[in-house]
Structure 1
Amino acid sequence: MSAPTSRPGGGPYVLAPNQPRRPYRGGAGIAALRGTLQIDDHRPEDFLASTTSAYGTADVGQSRLPDGTALRDAVEQDPEWFLGAEHVRRHGSSTQLLVKLINPGQRLFAHLHPDDDYARRRLDEPNGKTEAWVVVDAPAEGATAYLGFREEVGPADVARWVDHGDTGDLLGRMNEVELAVGDAFLVPAGLAHALAPGLTIVELQQPSDLSVLLEWRGFDGLTAESATLGLDAGEVFDALESTSRSAESLEALLVRRALSAEGGATSLLPAAADRFFRADLLDTAREITLEPSFAVLVVVEGVGDLTWDDGTLGVGRGDVVLVPHGLGDVRVSGDLRAVRCRPPRVEPAGG
Structure 2
Amino acid sequence: MTQRFSFTLKATDGKARTGVIDTPRGQIRTPAFMPVGTAATVKAMMPESVAATGADILLGNTYHLMLRPTAERIDRLGGLHRFMNWDKPILTDSGGFQVMSLAELRKMTEEGVTFRSHVDGSRHFLSPERSMEIQKLLGSDIVMCFDECPALPATEERVAEAMRLSMRWAQRSRDAFGDRPGHALFGIQQGGVTEDLRGESAEALKAIGFDGYAIGGLAVGEGQEAMFGVLDYAPDQLPTDKPRYLMGVGKPDDIVGAVKRGVDMMDCVLPSRSGRTGQAWTRHGVVNIKNARHADDPRPLDEHCTCPACRNYSRAYLHHVFRSHEMISGMLLTWHNLHYFQELMQGMRDAIAEGRFDAFEAAFHAQRAEGDIERL
Q: Give TM-score, length-normalised by structure 1.
A: 0.29
More strand by share: 1
Q: Which of 1 and 2 has higher RCO (CA within 8 Å, sep 6+)?
A: 1
Q: Give TM-score, length-normalised by structure 2.
A: 0.27
